[in-house]
Structure 1
Amino acid sequence: MFSVGQENISSSPASTKGPVKYGELIVLGCNGSLPNGDKGRRKSRFALCRRNKANGVKPSTVHPSCTPQAAKAVSNKEQHSISYTLSRAQTVVVEYTHDSNTDMFQIGRSTETPIDFVVTDTLPGGHGLSDGGQAVQSTISRFACRIICQRNPPYAARIYAAGFDSSKNIFLGEKAAKWRMQDGQMDGLTTNGVLVMHPRHGFSQGSKPGLWREMSVCGNVFTLRETRSSQQRGKMVDPESNELVDGSLVDLCGATLLWRTAEGLAHTPTVKHLEALRQELNAGRPQCPVGLNTLAFPSLRRKDVVDEKQPWAYLRCGHVHGYHGWGGRRHPEVEAECPERECPMCRTRGPYKPLWLGCEAGVYVDAEPPTHAFVPCGHVGSEKTTAFWSQIPLPHGTHAFHAACPFCIEPLGGESGRVRLLFQSPLD
């Protein structure tokens, strides 16, 4: 196997390799980069590294009513606070104080400066929403969540619903689900919620899906509400934690993020390794059993342009062919829209699609060769990786869940959501 790069990962502050990396967030459905390219804080993956100066915060004083001190905390641009509006007459304000042991990273749709990682809606097929349609259609909160990382080993990362705005405030209005806890602190949920799922047995070949939970503003864990925006909270799940583990999924109602720890990433295939697997596959000179022409997977950079040597497959049986246009359709672009065709090898009817290698290395659970394709999108990955994602129920809309391709987020179909590819070797 090829060596896996460990750029920028250091375990000691004295290291010359750059900052300590806590982990990375990867947006599912982007397949390695956003449709219009990665720019600034808007990209398909975001590295959380130790800051030069700690910027974490922790709760301190609770003001049970609108006292002058509470009003001062809310209006003070240097003071973090969370306001819980119980009624028109009563608002509880919780002041937050600086925490020199933690770093805070904020995620949301807003492009305001407090947001470190700007996330926009991901649509099936790997196409993000256009900026024009963003404000009207998005269900992602402007200040969706925050992740607090311990600055010292073991660098635990914990997730909380809601982020602080430009005035360092979080406001939970009258309609938001909120409640008082036994210790006098307040807690609440955001409108569409922040859902998290931790995989069982880590993020590896033996991983199994865990249960989806909802995270509160204070980092408590709850069972899911009946619908995303219901005012009735789920049941608190006391033994479970808001600490992210390698492979944790974070759903912001419009985009799902995968958390990979620095340690987990060190054992993940690199793009270089995926490129070597592609070249190895092409070196085997797979052939179209009908046209007998040699097929080749296009380079990872050209991941959306159908090439003339592009492998196509009948996704019910898995037989790989070159493109052939019979049955009245002679154009690949039209063909891609055609739901079913009959395989000339075995007569099985099913979707006939171009095959694409999955380019986002962070979603692979192993570094094995690409042998399976997701159905019906045609993205290709290793056997264990396609098996893992085909059993993960991802949130869809306000209360549905379904398995989807991690490379383009298209819902999976067929019996198992994937198929083993049957290549024909050259006859010579």
Structure 2
Amino acid sequence: MLSPEQELLSSSKPVKYGELIILGYNGSLPNGDRGRRRSRFTLCKRPKANGVKPSTVHTACSPQTAKVISNKDQHSVSYALSRVQTVVVEYTHDSTTDMFQIGRSTESPIDFVVMDTVPGCHTNSDTPLSQSTISRFACRIVCQRAPPYTARIYAAGFDLSKSIFLGEKAAKWWCADGQMDGLTTNGVLVMRPQHGFTCESKPASWREISVCGNVFTLGGTRLAQKPGKMVENECHELVDGSLIDLCGATLLWRSAEGLARTPTIKHLEALRRELNATRPQCPVGLLTLAFPSIDRSFSDSAHEDQPWAYLHCGHVHGYHSWRGRRRVTKEGSTEEEEDECETKEGMELLREGERECLLCCTRGLYVPLKLGRESGFYLDAAPPTHAFNPCGHVCSERTASFWSKLPLPHGAHGFYPACPFCMRPLARDRKYVRLIFQGPLD
């Protein structure tokens, strides 16, 4: 029999530090969330602290250094300066922190297994890319076990032998406090939004995080292996809405306090029902349109009441085969001349995916609409009124506005805004559109 105190302790929920959500998956992985491989990972207070902190620095190749490297019970970071010289930093147990590791490896030291995200994917395959750019042990997050439960991020994670090794080619340097620091191959980038993750949020500059948690400006290309300038007035503490890029996948950090203000799945479902209750109509087929429930939304099969929209004007229809009228493209012609040059050579053919809206005759992409199901990406609990262009994911206006202004890293190739629900790059001229629904005739 448990005592009342023991029963209370056993029934109490663990302290929640926050959650990591992978961009590009609208609430679930294609084949479902399983174990450490999932679209959303919760960081909770561990029964026993497993954090570590730097201790002794060994600068010479001595028996003690070799013992540290070979000891699988001793955490350490090795910095190879040359073939004959390696600096080894011992790490000791820290009873005040919990450590969580993220990376591509499925080995036991990794708490959250992250694979490369293919923009617009949702393919039913768990097969990793042949040339992944995500490190096997990409980064680690260390959370304070006492309030306010501050979370801090560091580049690189400890492997099975509890070691981190930076080779000769990796950027590394001595710090003013006598510690050595360095950068990983593809880097860990972090963006801490201004004003947190609220309706007033604004994107900030992307920074690179070192193995010791120092903050740097981006040094040229992603693979330059040269650190930028250290930003001394910024820290590696994660705030609500911080983005973490691992060069192949981008994660959103939501603090426990921030999640308490975020709409839940139940709230999004209630908004869906309210929208369907207005009985939006297709002006062509005159049928009632409806967004599917969460169970149907993950199905690949189409349904006849699926809402579609023209992403230039925002008019919502059901699916129809009308593509639009051909138009004369000869510049400077009069109406009489236009009539004369209405040949195949003089016609402007619609581009792939484009249609002509029957309500306003505006040309643009014509795509099926899909509700944004990942509640952690929402900045507010407002109704879904806007759609991203060109993917058609629907969310609130402030949510669409924030993500459309945020340049996201795409591997080592650059930065550009993308839909958080599928990671498809947004159109340059019109990144999202306000949807115009047609009410019932009766």
TM-score range, shorter chain: over 0.9
Q: TM-score under structure 1 normalisation?
A: 0.93
Deviations 1:95-143 (A, max 9, x none): 0000000000000000000000000011111436944443x22100000
Q: Which AA in structure 2 matches 1:313? A: A
1:278 aligned partner = 272
Matching residue within 64, 87, 91 for 2:59 = 64
Question: Identity over aligned residues, as a percent?
Answer: 72
Asked whether 1:242 is paired with 2:236, we answer yes
Asked whether 1:360 is paired with 2:374, we answer yes
Asked whether 1:22 is paired with 2:17, we answer yes
1:53 aligned partner = 48
1:192 aligned partner = 186
Q: Which AA in structure 2 matches 1:212? A: W
Deviation at 1:226, TM superposition (A): 0.9
Asked whether 1:339 is paired with 2:333, we answer no
2:154 aligned partner = 160
Once the two structures are superposed, the pairs formed by residues 287-302 of structure 1 within 5 Å of their partners are: 287-302=281-296
In 1, Cα distance between the equivalents of 2:90 and 2:124? 36
Deviation at 1:303, TM superposition (A): 2.2
Q: Which AA in structure 1 matches 2:199? A: Q
- Compare CA radii of gyration and give the structure with the larger one: 2
Conserved? CA contact 1:58–1:98, under 8 Å: yes
Deviation at 1:230, TM superposition (A): 1.1
Deviates more, 1:410-419 or 1:125-134: 125-134
Asked whether 1:321 is paired with 2:320, we answer no
In 2, Cα distance between the equivalents of 1:129 and 1:221? 37
Conserved? CA contact 1:390–1:416, under 8 Å: no
In 2, Cα distance between the equivalents of 1:17 and 1:228? 45
Conserved? CA contact 1:271–1:361, under 8 Å: yes
In 2, Cα distance between the equivalents of 1:240 and 1:25? 21
In 2, Cα distance between the equivalents of 1:388 and 1:275? 22
2:403 aligned partner = 389
1:408 aligned partner = 422
Displacement over 2 Å in runs of 4+: 13-17, 126-134, 301-306
Q: TM-score under structure 2 normalisation?
A: 0.90
Asked whether 1:371 is paired with 2:385, we answer yes
**Cα distance change on mapping 1:15 and 1:203 into 2, 3 Å:** farther
Matching residue within 96, 103, 108 for 1:108 = 103
1:83 aligned partner = 78
Matching residue within 166, 173, 178 for 1:179 = 173
SS at match of 1:196: strand
In 1, Cα distance between the equivalents of 2:375 and 2:435? 20
**Cα distance change on mapping 1:338 and 1:297 into 2, 3 Å:** farther
* Unaligned segments of structure 2, at least 5 residues: 1-7, 325-350
Q: Which AA in structure 2 matches 1:357? A: L
Deviates more, 1:151-160 or 1:122-131: 122-131
Matching residue within 263, 266, 285 for 1:269 = 263
Asked whether 1:74 is paired with 2:88, we answer no
In 2, Cα distance between the equivalents of 1:129 and 1:93? 43
SS at match of 1:127: coil
Deviates more, 1:275-284 or 1:175-184: 175-184
Deviations 1:354-402 (A, max 9, x none): 0000000000000010000000000000011001110010001314100
Q: State how many pairs are aligned.
A: 407
In 2, Cα distance between the equivalents of 1:120 and 1:131? 9
Q: Which AA in structure 2 matches 1:386? A: A
1:421 aligned partner = 435
**Cα distance change on mapping 1:35 and 1:219 into 2, 3 Å:** same
Once the two structures are superposed, the pairs formed by residues 94-173 of structure 1 within 5 Å of their partners are: 94-127=89-122, 130-134=125-129, 136-173=130-167
Conserved? CA contact 1:122–1:129, under 8 Å: no
Deviates more, 1:299-308 or 1:79-88: 299-308
